[in-house]
Structure 1
Amino acid sequence: MADGARTDERRGEAGASRGGRPRDPALDEAIVKATRRRLVLDGYSDMTIGDIAADAGVSRPTIYRRWRDKLELTIDALDYGFRAQRDTYPRLTFEELSAREAFTEAIRRVDPCYFNPDAMVLMGNFMGETLRTPELLAVVRAHAVEPRVHLVERVLRDLRDRGAVRADLDTHTIATLCFGAYYSAFLRGEADRADLAAKVAAVLWPGIAAAGS
């Protein structure tokens, strides 16, 4: 995009009015989905409100009435994906599972691609913005990374309370390893990661389980 067009884009962001019209959930969803697709294809820096509007079939003012700027829209796009992922979880509670099954299910849910097959590309684009837009990675960490990793930590703490895992377990490091396994598998070209959670659990469980578990 030419520098003049980018300047116009920024001016539009700065001068937009959000108005007070009632929100149309279907329209909001179309814009958010278009944003998520543009984040994958273009990355955050090259993504423009104009392109999102064209993809969603709306005008730029329609977007600016709902979101102040591109960052705010991106935050909602991230939250949309995380909510959609949670909606696809099996209808079960960890308490009804055996200790190892609960650990495996927690690892499965930390998969960035659990809901969105393009999630690894999306996350790579966000990490590539570290120098240009450092505040974006902080948003990604708070909205898309920590909620997933904290789930593994919470399950491990619950298992520790049940006496199923070692009392001295470093839950933070274990959760980080589980999350990182998906990135390692992606970078090594392992396209089929459906059973990765079970494999990771099988490797880690003997080292974290309490005696007799």
Structure 2
Amino acid sequence: MPRARTATKRPSETTGSRAGGRPRDPALDEAIILATRARLVRDGYSRMTLGDIAADAGVSRPTLYRRWSHKLDLVADALDYGFRKQRDLYDVDLSGLEPREAFVEAVRRLDPAYSNPDAMVLMGNFAGEVIHTPELLEMLRQHAVEPRVTLVEKVLSELQASGAVSQDIDRHTIATMCFGSYFGAFYRGDRREEIPESVVAVLWPVIAA
């Protein structure tokens, strides 16, 4: 049975003054967050320790423990740090593009490595933790997967409304297939830069009105 976890504070909530203590140093917080993200890629969740992260960030263990006493809470904030920087990728207006090009651009933004070259490794590490720490995969699902596939579904819906795309397509399945193409390319050793055009070249003749 998945273990319950305590409510995780976001960086915006943890930054500031501690009760009865000195103000928090945002630079130290960011150093710890960045060290955590690097360790997640290099060692994975299970192998990394708070002591390793403190050493990588150049802070003492008490400094880290005052901020995050549990590894999962630190990882949640480290992931949120990256998710917040990527949110503008999904809130984008592609209506000024030609229909086919709008679809290509939406598929391009599906790429897990669009703004983080380590994303595929990170996702693989988290998938490997699904039995012991399912919360990690749920974080990815909620913040890194759904916003991407939702963008593709939204673009396809807009193309349907404009009459460029058939009304009877399955937007959910198409978006899922496009997302999966990046993982297929990763494992086959194909160039991910070519995926958007290649995928749309196959799908467009089928879905275009």
Q: TM-score range by the shorter chain?
A: 0.7 to 0.9
Offset of 1:28 from its aligned partner? 2.2
User: CA-atom RMSD, angstroms?
Assistant: 2.1
Contact 1:79 1:144 in 2 (8 A): no
- In the superposition, the TM-score normalised over structure 1's length comes to 0.81
Offset of 1:68 from its aligned partner? 4.7
SS at match of 2:193: coil
Give the alignment of 1:95-174 within 5 angstroms.
95-174=95-174
Offset of 1:135 from its aligned partner? 2.1
Match of 1:202 in 2: 201
Partner Cα separation in structure 2 for residue 105 and residue 23 of structure 1: 40
Offset of 1:73 from its aligned partner? 1.8
Structure 2 residue runs of 5 or longer lacking an equivalent are: 1-13
SS at match of 1:167: coil
Partner Cα separation in structure 2 for residue 124 and residue 95 of structure 1: 34
Partner Cα separation in structure 2 for residue 168 and residue 52 of structure 1: 51
Partner Cα separation in structure 2 for residue 131 and residue 187 of structure 1: 22
Shift in alpha-carbon separation, 1:57–1:158, aligned structure 2, 3 A: same
Aligned AA (2:125): N
Offset of 1:111 from its aligned partner? 0.4
Give the alignment of 1:53-132 within 5 angstroms.
53-86=54-87, 93-132=93-132
Offset of 1:159 from its aligned partner? 1.5
Partner Cα separation in structure 2 for residue 48 and residue 134 of structure 1: 18
Partner Cα separation in structure 1 for residue 68 and residue 208 of structure 2: 47
- Percent identity over the alignment is 66
The reply on whether 1:181 has 2:164 as its aligned counterpart is no
Partner Cα separation in structure 2 for residue 152 and residue 24 of structure 1: 39
Partner Cα separation in structure 2 for residue 29 and residue 50 of structure 1: 16
Aligned AA (1:29): E
Deviation readout 1:138-182 (Å, 9 max, x if unpaired):
122112211111111111112112221111121111110111000
Deviation readout 1:41-74 (Å, 9 max, x if unpaired):
1111111111111111112333333335222222
Match of 1:9 in 2: none
Partner Cα separation in structure 2 for residue 149 and residue 39 of structure 1: 24
Offset of 1:92 from its aligned partner? 6.8
Shift in alpha-carbon separation, 1:147–1:66, aligned structure 2, 3 A: farther
Deviation readout 1:108-138 (Å, 9 max, x if unpaired):
1110111121211111100000111122211
- In the superposition, the TM-score normalised over structure 2's length comes to 0.83
Contact 1:103 1:201 in 2 (8 A): yes
Shift in alpha-carbon separation, 1:25–1:51, aligned structure 2, 3 A: same
Structure 1 residue runs of 5 or longer lacking an equivalent are: 1-17
